[in-house]
């Protein structure tokens, strides 16, 4: 009886264990059948029962059913990704100096820091999985960017890269990257040329050149200042001379006006003089002791002036008789 009881207990334990195992397997199968794809990802179904070994359509965000064991899902992020190559140790995807060393058209060595912002093209994620799988960042984006930057920089001089044509260089690189990434099922969001730096020798030469240019500009400024001061003095002198000329011209014109007025007055006086007026003026100007005047007429003659004053009677002095 005791053995029978033990056998019964063992059988029950085996059944319970078997049920647990089956439940675990079923749960595993169910969990592997239902796949959840997050909003920032997209899934590629690798299938052992589909021709070609994969489903042609990707799995977008949400719940999806797959065949357990025979199908599995590889998920890829469709969020924007950034790949940075920089001289700064902690900025890039790789430790240490990861800047891009290039040679310019004029043979100068230049180092460039850059960042590429890109994303997977959701419509082509299946083809991306077949071609690159998860290696696209290191094996596609990185060498592609470095090669395009080197090729682009070789078409410009060093001074053009750092100043006048930097924007043109960035535009060219962006255009090349856009085309190349599209051909590999990726989309370029933005290209950033973060920094451009040089070797220590060239940087020192550039600094010396800038100092010389600044000194030349300062000297030119001094020359221009002196020229402006000289021009200002010349204009002041010219203004004073012009003022003198204007004053002299005004005085001359005033004198001419005055002379013209005197001439007109003399003409008017000359026209108003008659013989009678002359005689009258002559008479009025004579002193009271004048006894005769000339009266102009057809024939001039002298008349005695009328004696209007009482003359004293002269005293007759008899001659004295001398007695012999």
CA–CA distance, 136 with 116 (Å, rounded to integer):
13
pLDDT bucket at 175, cuts 50 / 70 / 90: very high
Residue 7's pLDDT is 57
Q: Are residues 70 and 9 in the same domain?
A: yes
- Tell whether 180 and 247 lie within a shared domain: no
What burial letters (b/e) apply to 233-261, b meaning 16+ CB within 10 Å? Answer: eeeeeeeeeeeeeeeeeeeeeeeeeeeee
Q: How confident is the model at residue 316 (pLDDT cuts 50, 70, 90)?
A: very low
Under the banding of pLDDT at 50, 70 and 90, the label for residue 304 is: very low
Q: 297 lies in a domain?
A: no
Instruction: Tell me the per-residue pLDDT of 52-71, one tens digit each, with 9 for 90 and over.
Output: 899 999 999 999 988 888 88
Is 290 inside a domain boundary?
A: no
pLDDT for 160 beyond 80:
yes
Domain boundary residue, one of 40, 62, 77: 77
DSSP three-state, residue 75: strand
Nearest to 118 by CA among 98, 100, 93: 93
> What is the C-alpha separation between 85 and 145, in angstroms, rounded?
10
Same domain, 190 and 236: no
Q: Are 107 and 41 contained in the same domain?
A: no
pLDDT band of 318, cuts 50, 70, 90 = very low
pTM of the entire predicted model: 0.58
**Tokens at residue 276, please?**
């009678």
Q: Is the pLDDT of residue 290 over 50?
A: yes
Q: Which domain holds residue 26?
A: 2-77
The answer on pLDDT for 301 being more than 50 is: no
Residues 288-305 have a mean pLDDT of 52
| pLDDT above 70 for 37 | yes
Q: Is 132 part of any domain?
A: yes
Q: Is residue 137 part of a domain?
A: yes
Q: What is the mean pLDDT of residues 91-95?
A: 85
User: What is the pLDDT of the chain when averaged over all its residues?
Assistant: 80
User: At residue 5, does pLDDT exceed 60?
Assistant: no
pLDDT higher than 90, residue 162 = no
The whole-number pLDDT of residue 282 equals 63
Mean pLDDT, residues 146-168 taken together? 91
pLDDT of residue 198: 82
Beta bridge partners of 111: 101, 197
Please check the confidence at residue 9 and state whether its pLDDT lies above 70. Answer: no
Identify the top-confidence range among 63-67, 224-228, 241-245, 251-255.
Answer: 63-67
Counting the structural domains of the chain, the total is 3
Q: Are residues 98 and 55 in the same domain?
A: no
| Same structural domain, 27 and 118 | no
Distance CA 9, CA 14 (A): 9
Residue 315 has pLDDT above 60, yes or no: no
Q: How far apart are CA 180 and CA 141, in angstroms?
A: 10
Check whether residue 183 and residue 105 sit in a common domain: yes
Q: Is residue 131 domain-shared with residue 193, that is, in the same domain?
A: yes
The better pLDDT of the pair 3, 154 is held by 154
94 and 142, same structural domain? yes
Q: How far is the CA of 104 from the CAs of 97, 153, 159, 227, 291, in angstroms?
A: 20, 5, 9, 42, 126
């Amino acid at each position: 009886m005791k053995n029978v009881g033990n056998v019964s207990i063992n059988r029950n334990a085996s059944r319970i264990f078997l049920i647990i195992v089956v439940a675990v397997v079923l749960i595993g199968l169910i969990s592997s059948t239902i796949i959840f794809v997050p909003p920032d990802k997209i899934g590629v179904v690798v299938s052992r029962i589909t021709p070609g070994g994969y489903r042609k359509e990707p799995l977008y965000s949400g719940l999806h059913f797959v065949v357990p064991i025979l199908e599995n899902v590889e998920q890829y992020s469709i969020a924007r990704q950034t790949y940075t190559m920089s001289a700064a140790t902690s900025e890039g995807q790789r430790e240490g100096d990861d800047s891009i060393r290039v040679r310019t058209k004029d043979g100068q060595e230049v180092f460039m820091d850059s960042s590429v912002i890109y994303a997977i093209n959701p419509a082509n994620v299946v083809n991306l999985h077949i071609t690159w799988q998860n290696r696209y960042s290191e094996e596609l984006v990185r060498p592609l960017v470095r090669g395009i930057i080197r090729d682009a920089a070789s078409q410009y001089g060093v001074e053009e890269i750092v100043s006048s044509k930097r924007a043109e260089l960035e535009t060219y690189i962006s255009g090349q990257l856009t085309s190349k990434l599209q051909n590999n099922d990726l989309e370029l969001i933005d290209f950033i040329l973060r920094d451009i730096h040089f070797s220590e020798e060239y940087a020192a030469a550039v600094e010396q050149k800038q100092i010389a240019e600044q000194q030349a500009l300062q000297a030119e400024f001094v020359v221009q200042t002196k020229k402006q001061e000289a021009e200002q003095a010349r204009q002041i002198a010219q203004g004073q001379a012009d003022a003198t000329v204007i004053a002299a011209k005004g005085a001359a014109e005033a004198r001419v006006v005055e002379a013209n007025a005197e001439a007109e007055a003399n003409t008017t006086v000359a026209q108003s003089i008659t013989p009678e007026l002359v005689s009258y003026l002559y008479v009025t100007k004579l002193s009271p002791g004048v006894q005769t005047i000339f009266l102009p007429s057809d024939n001039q003659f002298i008349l005695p002036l009328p004696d209007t004053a009482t003359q004293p009677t002269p005293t007759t002095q008899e001659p004295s008789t001398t007695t012999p």
